[in-house]
Amino acid sequence: MASTFGNCSVLSSVVLLIMCICLTQWLLVFPVAKTIPNGFSVDLIHRDSPLSPLYSPLETPFVRFYNAYNRSISRINRFRPSYSEAVWSDIMASGGEYFMNISIGTPPVLVLGIADTGSDLTWVQCKPCEECYRQKPPLFDPMKSSTYKSVQCGSGPCNALDSSDRVCDQEQNTCKYSYSYGDRSFTRGNVALEKFTIGAANSTRIDSPVSFPNLVFGCGHKNGGTFDDVGSGIIGLGGGPLSLVKQLSKSIHGKFSYCLQAPDSAAKSSKLIFGTATDSNVVSTSTPLVDRDPSTYYYVTLEAISVGDKKLAYGRGSASSATEEGNIIIDSGTTLTFLESEFYNSLESALEEAIEAKRVSDPKGLLSPCFEADKDMDLPIITFHFSGADVKLQPWNTFAQVQDHMVCFTIVPSNDIAIFGNLSQMDFLVSYDLEERSVSFTPTDCPKNH
């Protein structure tokens, strides 16, 4: 089944929508929080939205899209295994697509960090700084917080770090961490416990914050590299034991979700939700999370992809080959979707058959296939067949207007890991259940319902 652009006015609306959804970094704004049943939430604001401190009115939507493309290519490198003798952590320092405001300490200090589903340990820059990159928010001073506690060597929180990432200060018996990133950025500091305050609680007051004592985090005293100056550090939302969602697991019953939408209005925002996002009457489709190393990433199994009614078995081998479990990562911090390159050739051929439009070349040589767009252009519905879950993507999830009268496919080939990126997740409530080990997709009008 195909979806048509229709007449010129509809084409203009779709072009604007497609261009908007391609501007793919967001900020979590702490003061704008709302109550929800059995949980709490914060707003997600697009990086290139007028609400964002990173917004540049001089950039065209096309420039923003290509910038997002380059960030995706940079970010996928963090998922690749490192064969160097040097120790690198699992994320690129500047590869995050979202920022999150939280408060740390007593009295609370507001800090802004990259919210990353591909990272575990939360860390922020701290006073005193041996070496710090420039940041606009105030630095956190642990000496002024009555709830700050050092973590001892050999303790549970210290041992939860990989042995290559932790260092013991024998003189003071304190646990320290040391991370280096793929772009040679770094952070080093103390592992500590602190009070975190996030979002709004389920109460009669919509502005009531919810606080959690004794959460493990890294207090970075030596940090440098390519971090944005609007941020204070990194907030880990991955699947490892020290991530924020894992540490909050009992309070949120192992559940968190987000609903991403096209930022076509400065008055609209997306949501990150801790706890239960919907009631049991909402129909969704669910696929199992697969346990693989590293535990940070959210692996699921992709069995096939359909272009319209044509179904293609996913994988490197023939259609009769067994599907590899956990063959794709769901990542809200990557813009584009990446698929195995051998399979991609079959997908590209199916697209050419389904789209009755002249094929053209992206002048930047980055995206393929691209097609000449006109008012009557039909684009196919593309369905991802995960294990137990069929996720039907609309054209705005899979195509982008990259120039006047040119649309390109926003799913690209990869010689390494496959990633289901955030363009493909827009206008779905994507819900993670870390206790049941599943992730669900609910088609949702995100601006209306969240």
Q: Which residue numbers are catalytic?
A: 116, 331
Closest CA to 238 of 130, 79, 380, 121: 121
Q: What is the DSSP string of 149-178?
A: EE-BTTSHHHHTS-GGGEEEETTTTEEEEE
Three-state DSSP class for 50? coil
Indicate the length of the chain as a whole number.
450
Closest CA to 24 of 443, 331, 448, 283: 331
Tokens standing for 66?
A: 């290509």
Closest CA to 239 of 184, 170, 289: 289
Pairing mode, if any, of strands 285-288 and 438-443?
antiparallel
Q: How many angstroms separate the Cα of 228 from the Cα of each of 23, 62, 182, 217, 334?
A: 17, 22, 16, 20, 17
- CA dist 188 and 179 (Å) reads 6
Tokens standing for 79?
A: 């998922």
Angle between helices 61-76 and 8-21 (to 10 degrees): 40
Closest CA to 116 of 89, 102, 97: 97
- CA dist 16 and 205 (Å) reads 37
Is the separation of the CB atoms in 244 and 252 below 8 Å? no
First to last CA, the chain: 29
Place of tokens 């049941």: 436
Q: Which helix (H) or strand (E) holds 207?
A: none
